[in-house]
Structure 1
Amino acid sequence: MLVSSLNTCNPRTVSSKLPIYTPLHYSNVLSSITGTNIYLKLENLQTCNSFKIRGVGYMCSKVVSENNCQMLVSSGINAGIACAYAGKKLNTMVTIFLPMNTPEFIIKKIQNEGANVIIKGKDIEESELYAKNFVENNQFSYYIPSYDHPDIWEGNSSIIDEIKSQLGDIPDAIITVVGGGGLLCGLIQGCQKVRWRNVPIIAVETHNTNSFQLSTNNKKITEVEKGSEPLARSLNVKKICSQALNLSNQHPVVPITVSDAMSIHACRKFADDHKMLIEPSSAAAVSLCYSNVIHDILELESTSKVVVIITGGNDISLKQLESPNYKCSTPVPIIVKSGSDIYMKLNGQN
């Protein structure tokens, strides 16, 4: 069954055992580089290593508790892992559809959660179509989307509740990455709930995954033209959900894109400085700090507080970092797009 709407229930009571309360870590290194206070919301430390368990876990819990659900079905890497983990905790069968380019270690990770994995489709969009078709032909199975559903947004909004409790103050900005827009929707809804209506959200994509930036510029949902596969695979979605664009018109959101090289450089630096491997997709947000481009976007003081959402650490390995595709020149050229403007810095020079 393709779920369009479900009865409301309290996410804290239904799915409280799925996502964990992740640390808000003060980064001495990034604070020193930027000259302001940088806090890292470490969603890569979730049990299934990404923020996806918040929204996906919340929706899975509702579907299982309110319906005669015998099988949960989803697609994609981080959503698939989250759905597989949720299904195991909820004692419900799970089938995950993945595209043909999915790394073997990701497939094994999902299978280790007890889920059935079906490899279908050349990209995430095709896998999603196969998953939806599977649900339409299998009674009592339910499709759990990766990002485009109110329950996903509601589950993701819990990040803001935690940040408010942990920071004890109103942040001057929040930096996150944007794929399909489910996390962005959750962050905006969370900010609205706690009345952080003036806290800007810096929405980061890579140059070849920039549907949100294109949609914002064009004032309508705009697809990204598919070319070579980006290294930030978790952001590789053709178009964002319409709710992300709608909500961004109600809240201060700044779309920014960075290069793959900046993401990979930040990924490597983060591993050295914080002793954690995070995905290139997640590292795109951190790259604004390592490159100090953050000061070209925000007016910050030494007392300012900026929260960076570290979204996940699944789609990365030491083997990947050692492959030719993940090599980048030193120093890394800084190329950032904001709207129609392009900022470039080479060797530290404007």
Structure 2
Amino acid sequence: MPLHIQTPLIESRPLSLTAGSAVWLKLEALQPCGSFKLRGVGQACEVHHARGARHLVSSSGGNAGLAVAYAGRQLGMAVTVVVPQTTSERARELLRLEDAKLVVHGSSWQEANAHAQTLLGPGDAFIHPFDDPLLWAGHASMVDEVAATGLKPDAVVLSVGGGGLLSGVVQGLQRNGWHDVPVLAVETEGAASLHAAMAAGHTVELPSLSSVATSLGAKRVAEQALACTREHPVHSHLVSDREALLACERLLHDHRLLVEPACGAALALLERPEALAGYGRVLVIVCGGATATLGQIRSWLG
């Protein structure tokens, strides 16, 4: 049995009326660790466990680390997660609940990641938050589940941070023969590394990150994510932090489900019917996120 669960696929009547299209939600926020990350991370952890690893090391300020910690506990493996100093106390609390060894280092994910590499010993396995073929293959399983229901969407809406979700969804679309289904890739304006890469024609490092959607905070998108934009129809969209936060509040009101601003970015696109014109059925990946609280979201909204 895989470590992730098969998540519900539901039609949202309120969001459909707003978007002017039939909106279907893939509720990845209901994964045991709170986000889609468990699909790919769980697969990677199982592969390394089968190869003899007994200790998992990861670098993450939130959801990827939580997925590694959950998977490691389920597999009986020791887990060390290196987080930057900016990681919220809520995220640290959740990592401790999963019995992970928590190391705080550096002011950014890049610094935490560099330190994590120094902790690797013989027989240890490093689990990258987004840039690993094992992750992409695992994330693709959510598209397999949608295909099994008989629903073929006219477009898929998802959030992009480092690009692991985008890479996995495109792989899933292609292996199900859905080469004609475009992906609407949404980022917040202060963390738009994919948008910058698509404009430049190559990956670029953003000088800084300024979005409250910290789970989207990769200064440079994965090379595979940019490659996906050349191999599959991918359209880049930007939303403001405020739009993402309001979308989180709306999902909570409409469907009683709290997600992070990183997930709210994708949901925010539903408030722009012009972006969805011509798409009769829209699939939104509700990627989730376990580290935001309602109080924090409302404080950001002011």
TM-score where L is the length of structure 2: 0.97
Structure number, greater radius of gyration = 1
Number of the residue aligned with 2:66? 81
| Partner secondary structure for residue 26 of structure 1 | strand
Cα drift, residue 99 of structure 1: 0.8
Number of the residue aligned with 2:286? 310
Structure 1 residues 165-180: aligned runs within 5 Å = 165-166=148-149, 168-180=150-162
The aligned amino acid for 1:305 is R
Number of the residue aligned with 1:119? 104
| Partner secondary structure for residue 235 of structure 2 | strand
1:322 and 1:196 map into 2 onto residues whose CA distance is 39
Cα drift, residue 295 of structure 1: 2.3
Structure number with the bigger relative contact order (C-alpha 8 A, sep ≥ 6) is 2
| Partner secondary structure for residue 231 of structure 2 | coil
Give the aligned length: 301
RMSD: 1.2
| Partner secondary structure for residue 102 of structure 2 | strand
Structure 1 residues 67-216: aligned runs within 5 Å = 68-76=52-60, 77-135=62-120, 138-166=121-149, 168-216=150-198
Number of the residue aligned with 2:233? 252
Contact kept, 8 Å, 2:72 with 2:79, in 1: the verdict is yes
The aligned amino acid for 2:87 is T
1:243 aligns with 2:224: yes
1:64 aligns with 2:49: yes
Contact kept, 8 Å, 2:191 with 2:209, in 1: the verdict is no
Equivalent position to 1:264, from 245, 253, 257: 245
Number of the residue aligned with 2:274? 295
Moved over 3 A (4+): none
1:113 and 1:35 map into 2 onto residues whose CA distance is 41
Cα drift, residue 315 of structure 1: 2.2
Contact kept, 8 Å, 2:158 with 2:285, in 1: the verdict is yes
| 103-112 or 194-203: bigger deviation | 103-112
| Partner secondary structure for residue 94 of structure 1 | strand
Contact kept, 8 Å, 1:208 with 1:224, in 2: the verdict is no
Number of the residue aligned with 2:260? 279
Cα drift, residue 162 of structure 1: 0.6
2:222 and 2:172 map into 1 onto residues whose CA distance is 17
Gaps of 5+ in 1: 1-15, 328-350
Cα drift, residue 115 of structure 1: 0.8
1:296 and 1:186 map into 2 onto residues whose CA distance is 23
Number of the residue aligned with 2:298? 322
TM-score where L is the length of structure 1: 0.84
The aligned amino acid for 2:283 is V
Cα drift, residue 106 of structure 1: 1.1
Gaps of 5+ in 2: none
| Partner secondary structure for residue 119 of structure 2 | helix
